[in-house]
Amino acid sequence: MAGEVALSGAGARAGSRRRRRDWVMVACATFIVVIVAVALLAPWIAPHDPNQVDIVASHEAPSASHPLGTDALGRDLLSRLIWGARLSLLGPALIVVIATVVGTTIAILAAWMGGWFDGVTSRVLDILFAFPGLIFAILAVALFGPGLVAPVIALSIAYLPYDARVLRSVALRERNLPYIQACYVEGLPTSAITTRHLLPNILPFVFVQATLSFGYALVDLAAVSYLGLGVAPPTPEWGLMVANGQASILAGYPEESLYAGLLIVLTVVSFNLLGDRLATRFSVRAQ
């Protein structure tokens, strides 16, 4: 835990920072809100049908009707990017939800029951650490075929250990704190202690971990689509668009790949920075 101390700033510095508004965090949060809104409102704000092929309008430059131009098949790039936000954000969201829920449950159970259960789960999680997420996803696709389902489940399993590990140490630490001990003394049942006292105090850390994981999940899932093992064409999805656009780069039209890639980077940066800032806040508060 040594690194955290240095980065979160020793004592006094943390205090002075709290008084200045953190613009980075505001910007990231704003971007995330915007991109999620865009994804949700896609059917209403996208100017065109993202799959409408208009071969005559291939590779058009930006214009009034096509603000970002068109791709090789004449499809509107802006609409494809907007609709692409849906799948590109949905996948990682699913992964994060599953990994967090299952991971948190395991973490709390392990921290609570300790003993052999803790030992066994730690070993199992250690083994799962051995599988880089992407390899796991590829293995799943080889077994169950391409699409969204197999990679999402595989990545959820691959991300479990990270969530479980971090939350386990948090849970352990919380468990030993006086207020929890006090509950014991008062004779409260374990389930009540867990749900009413432990969980709410862990939630901030769960949230932080989820935010941090989102970025990795997005990158991994986009990579699966890029490799052609995810959703099939012509579905709009950022990773797939990067792959589709690659053929056009050599013809002198890198727009599709670059725009989709840029969106991926911006989204991941926002989630990473946000998660980072939140983590700092909570670890400071915890001290």
Partner 1 sequence: MSTSSQACGKARTGRIRLWEIVVLVAVLVTLATVVAGCGGTEEAATTSPGTGSPGDTLQSTTPPADGLVDEITWNLGYGEPTTVDPLKAGDYGPCFIASQMHDTLVRYTPDWKLQPCIAESWDQVDDLTLVYTIRQDATFWDGSPVTVEDVVFSMKRHMDPKTGSIWAAFYSYVKSIEQTGDWEITVKFTKPDELFNKEMGTVGGAIVKKDYVKQVGEAKYGSGENVMGSGPYKMVSWKPGQEIVLEANPDYWDAELAPKVSRVKVTFISDTSTVTSAIMSGEIDGAYGIPQTNLAALEAAPGTIYFGPSLTVVEVVPTNGDTPMGDPKDPDVRTALSMAIDRQAIVDNVFSGKAVLNKTFTPPSAWDPEAIDVYQAAYDKIPGDAPDVEGAKALLEGKQGLDKPLVMALAAGNEEELRVSSIVQQAAKDIGITIKLKPLQAMDLANVFYVPEYRKGIDLVMTWGWLDIPDPLDYTSLFFGEGALFNWINYRNVEVEKTLDKARQTFDPVERANLFCEAQSTFTADTIVVPLVNPYQTLYMSDRISGAPCSFAYMWIPGLAMLGGTK
Partner 2 sequence: MALFVAKRLVALVLTLLVASFLIYGSLYLAPGDPATQLAGGRATPEVLEQIRERYQLDEPFLTRYWDWLTNVLQGDLGQSFVYRQDVSSLLAPRVGNTVFLVLYAALLILGVGVTLGLASALRRRVGSVVTAATAIGMATPAFVAAIVLITVFAVNLGWFPVFGAGTGFLGRLWHLTLPAVALAFAWVAYVTQITKASVREELSREHVETARSRGIPPRLIVRRHVFRNALIPITTVAGLTVAGLIAGAVVVEQAFGISGLGSFLVQAASQKDFAVVQAIALLLVATFVIANAIVDLLNGLLDPRLRLTGSG
**Which amino acid appears at position 169 of this protein?**
S
As a whole number of angstroms, the distance between CA 170 and CA 166 comes to 6
The residue (of 122 and 201) whose beta carbon lies closer to partner 1 is: 122
| Contact partner at residue 134 from partner 2, partner 1, none, CB < 5 to 8 Å by partner kind | partner 2
* Minimum distance of partner 1 from residue 109's CB (angstroms): 18
Tell which positions 137-196 bind partner 1, by CB under 8 A.
161-162, 165-166
| Contact partner at residue 41 from partner 1, partner 2, none, CB < 5 to 8 Å by partner kind | none
Per DSSP, helices labelled H in the chain are: 2-8, 12-19, 23-40, 42-45, 77-113, 115-129, 133-144, 149-175, 178-186, 190-192, 199-226, 238-249, 255-286
Contact letters for partner 2, residues 226-255 (x by CB under 8 A):
xxxx---------x--xx-xx--xx-x-x-
Size of the site for partner 1 (CB under 8 A): 51
Of the candidates 104, 287, 129, 111, the residue with the CA atom closest to the CA atom of residue 210: 104
**Which amino acid appears at position 197 of this protein?**
H
As a whole number of angstroms, the distance between CA 157 and CA 151 comes to 10
Collapsing DSSP states into helix, strand and coil, what is residue 10?
coil
Q: Is 264 in the site for partner 2 (CB under 8 A)?
A: yes
Strand partners, 76: 70
* Minimum distance of partner 2 from residue 219's CB (angstroms): 4
Q: Is 259 in the site for partner 2 (CB under 8 A)?
A: no
Q: Is 33 in the site for partner 1 (CB under 8 A)?
A: no
Q: Is 135 in the site for partner 1 (CB under 8 A)?
A: no
As a whole number of angstroms, the distance between CA 254 and CA 273 comes to 28
Considering just the CA atoms, what is the radius of gyration of the chain in Å?
22
Q: Is 254 in the site for partner 1 (CB under 8 A)?
A: yes
User: Which residues are near partner 2 by CB under 8 A?
Assistant: 2-3, 5-7, 10, 123, 126-127, 130-135, 138-139, 141-144, 146, 215, 219-220, 222-223, 226-229, 239, 242-243, 245-246, 249-250, 252, 254, 257-258, 261, 264-266, 268-269, 272-273
